[in-house]
Amino acid sequence: MSRTQRLIAGFAVGGVIAALVFAWPRQPGFQYLDGQTAEFVAQFRAPPPPESPQTRHELDELLDLQRARTAADVEAARADRKTEASRFYAALGLRESTRLPHVERLIGRAEDDVRLYIRAAKHKFRRLRPGEVEPRIKPCVGGVREDLSYPSGHSAYGYATAYLLIELVPERRDALLARADEFARQRMVCGVHFRSDIEAGRQGAQWLVARLTASQGYADDVAAAAQELRNALDARPK
């Protein structure tokens, strides 16, 4: 199958998926939200076209990052490929090995919703990854070539995680937001997302968290997570 045929097939499958996402009154697998993604998708502006000056500027930015990245940068970016709550524990003053099952359940359930909403937006805009547009870009992580680029699901996950943790421990706001910025930027370091993908991911996270935190399911889970996190912070060596 040629690349053109693969793209056409992808559009067809994407259209079916998007139609199903929009049509169902409530999707199986959604934890806190109802799965009605149309309003979420409608908030985004279309990404710049591949031949636009903005895309060229963003590609040049990624090439600059690629030239400058060190082995340590690549190692850190690859480590941040994991969408796990523990990747944010250092910003809370905790070890990554800390066990917080209630917090992890809260973040994991939120991730389930974030991923499905972002997927609906990706299938609308169908933006190719940077390496598909500019062959000089050499991603430092694999397994993303066949996925779509806009908005960044990784960025949305990182910012949503930070915003939810800020709800639990607002005094750690600055550290958590800085960590979310770093977590999202790693996708640019690795050459797998445009800057505008990252910014759209952050926008999507803000929209989603505002609705996640208003849901009854969230209210049922957050009290246990907040208490567990406070206990862990209080138990740190003084």
Q: Does residue 220 carry a pLDDT above 90?
A: no
What is the pLDDT averaged over residues 141-160? 90
User: How high is the mean pLDDT of the chain?
Assistant: 88
Q: What is the CATH number of domain 3-234?
A: 1.20.144.10
Question: What are the backbone dihedrals phi and psi of residue 103, each rounded to the nearest 5 degrees, phi first?
Answer: -65, -45
Taking each helix axis as running N to C, give the angle between helix 101-125 and helix 216-234, from 0 to 180 degrees, rounded to the nearest 10: 130
Q: Does residue 17 carry a pLDDT above 80?
A: no
Q: Does residue 200 carry a pLDDT above 50?
A: yes
Question: What are the backbone dihedrals phi and psi of residue 86, each rounded to the nearest 5 degrees, phi first?
Answer: -65, -20
The predicted-structure confidence for 84-98, as pLDDT tens digits, reads as follows 999 999 999 999 999
The predicted-structure confidence for 73-132, as pLDDT tens digits, reads as follows 999 999 999 899 999 999 999 999 999 999 999 999 999 999 999 999 999 999 999 999
Q: Does residue 11 carry a pLDDT above 80?
A: no
Q: Who wins on pLDDT, 155 or 146? A: 155
As a whole number of angstroms, the distance between CA 60 and CA 9 comes to: 30
pLDDT-derived band of residue 236, with 50, 70 and 90 as boundaries?
Answer: confident
Q: Does residue 25 carry a pLDDT above 70?
A: no
Q: Who wins on pLDDT, 146 or 174? A: 174
Q: Does residue 12 carry a pLDDT above 70?
A: no
| The predicted structure's pLDDT at residue 9 | 41
- For 97-134, give one letter per residue: b (16+ CB within 10 A) or e: ebebebbebbbebbbebbebbbbbbbbbbebbbbbbbb
As a whole number of angstroms, the distance between CA 11 and CA 127 comes to: 11
As a whole number of angstroms, the distance between CA 235 and CA 167 comes to: 20
State the first-to-last Cα distance of the chain, in angstroms, to the nearest integer.
62
Q: Does residue 157 carry a pLDDT above 50?
A: yes
pLDDT-derived band of residue 168, with 50, 70 and 90 as boundaries?
Answer: very high
| The predicted structure's pLDDT at residue 27 | 54
| The predicted structure's pLDDT at residue 142 | 80
Spell out the domain ranges in the chain: 3-234
